[in-house]
Amino acid sequence: MELVEKTALKENPPQFDIGDTVDVHLKILEGNKERIQVFSGVVIARSGTGSKEMFSVRRIVAGEGVERKFPVHSPKIEKVEVTRSAIVRRAKLYFLRGRVGKAVRLKERRRV
């Protein structure tokens, strides 16, 4: 089973942590055209290992929270860009679901 899964893994998987604000560039098929759509938000969770590894991204759209799960090794993901990093003390940031407005902000981590 491991040999089969190894062929599906990306050589350079994206590097990001929980609490990072990321731009996920997705390939979208519309008819016979392919375009790239960007989903921006905060990584609130990572789960799984190997080819089954997933991450959840949350953002606020028109006052509503929108969450989306992505497979890390999916061929539909073009790239994942980290725009901000935050200082977090948990592995899952589900507490952000109950917050709105300025309460959603996380303390920024300075990278040198």
Is 94 in a helix, a strand, or coil? helix
Residue with tokens 């290992």: 49
Backbone angles phi, psi at 10, to 5 degrees: -75, 150
Q: How many residues does the chain have?
A: 112
Is 58 in a helix, a strand, or coil? strand
* Beta partners for residue 80, in sequence order: 24
pLDDT in tens, 41-79: 999 999 998 888 999 999 998 888 899 999 999 989 999
Asked whether the predicted pLDDT for residue 112 surpasses 70, the reply is: no
Residue 73 to residue 11: CA distance in whole angstroms: 9
Supply the pLDDT for residue 26.
Answer: 94
Supply the pLDDT for residue 68.
Answer: 94
